[in-house]
C-alpha cells in the first residue's frame, strides 16, 4: 500500500525533465515549495521543510488546500502519472463522484472562488439565473454573440 510520501515522491520523479546535458533532473523540494508559495491562484504557502516532511513521511495529514496546491503545481508539468487529490491520498482509483468532489475541493481552495460562491448563495433564484447568464457570456463571448440577434459586430451597426 503506497503512502502519501511514496506517491508524492513518485510525482517528483515523474516530473523530471532533461537538463542541459540530457540527464533527467527532478524538481527540487525547494523549487516546488517556492513555486507553490508564489502561485497567485491560491493563498497557500508551503515551506521547504514542510514539503520535505511530507516527502519523508514525518508529516502525513496535510490540509485539503495544501494538497490542492501541490496537485496544481504538478498538473502544470508534463506528467505520466494521474495527478489529482484523490490520486495523491488514496490507493483506489477515483470514482467519477470522487473526481467531482476533488474538482470541487480544488476550486473551493481558491479564496476568490469561495467568496463568489458565498455571495451567490445569498442571491434570489432569479438573480442567480441572471448571474449564470452573465457568466455564460464571459465564458464564451463568441458563442453568445453569434446566438444573440441583438448582438451585432461594430461592422454590422451594433454597439
More confident residue, 12 or 106: 12
| Cell, residue 156 | 454590422
- Cα Dmax for the chain: 66
Instruction: Say if pTM beats, i.e. exceeds, 0.85.
Output: no
Contact between 45 and 66 (Cβ < 8 Å): no
Domain 4-111 has CATH 1.10.357.10: no
Distance CA 14, CA 35 (A): 17
Contact between 15 and 27 (Cβ < 8 Å): yes
Lookup result for grid cell 503506497 = 2
Q: What is the pLDDT of residues 29-56, one digit of tens each?
A: 999 999 999 999 889 999 999 999 999 9
Amino acid at each position: 500500500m503506497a503512502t502519501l510520501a511514496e506517491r508524492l515522491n513518485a510525482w517528483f520523479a515523474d516530473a523530471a525533465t532533461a537538463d542541459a546535458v540530457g540527464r533527467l533532473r527532478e524538481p527540487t523540494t525547494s523549487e516546488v515549495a517556492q513555486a507553490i508559495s508564489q502561485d497567485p491562484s491560491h493563498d497557500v504557502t508551503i515551506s521547504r521543510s514542510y514539503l520535505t516532511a511530507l516527502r519523508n513521511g514525518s508529516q502525513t495529514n496535510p490540509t485539503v488546500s495544501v494538497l490542492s496546491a501541490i496537485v496544481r503545481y504538478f498538473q502544470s508539468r508534463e506528467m505520466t502519472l494521474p495527478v489529482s487529490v484523490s490520486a495523491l491520498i488514496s490507493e483506489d482509483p477515483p470514482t467519477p463522484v470522487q473526481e467531482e468532489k476533488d474538482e470541487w475541493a480544488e476550486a473551493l481552495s481558491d479564496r476568490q472562488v469561495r467568496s463568489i460562491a458565498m455571495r451567490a448563495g445569498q442571491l434570489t433564484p432569479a438573480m442567480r439565473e441572471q448571474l449564470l447568464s452573465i457568466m455564460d457570456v464571459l465564458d464564451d463571448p463568441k458563442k453568445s454573440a453569434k446566438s444573440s440577434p441583438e448582438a451585432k459586430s461594430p461592422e454590422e451597426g451594433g454597439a
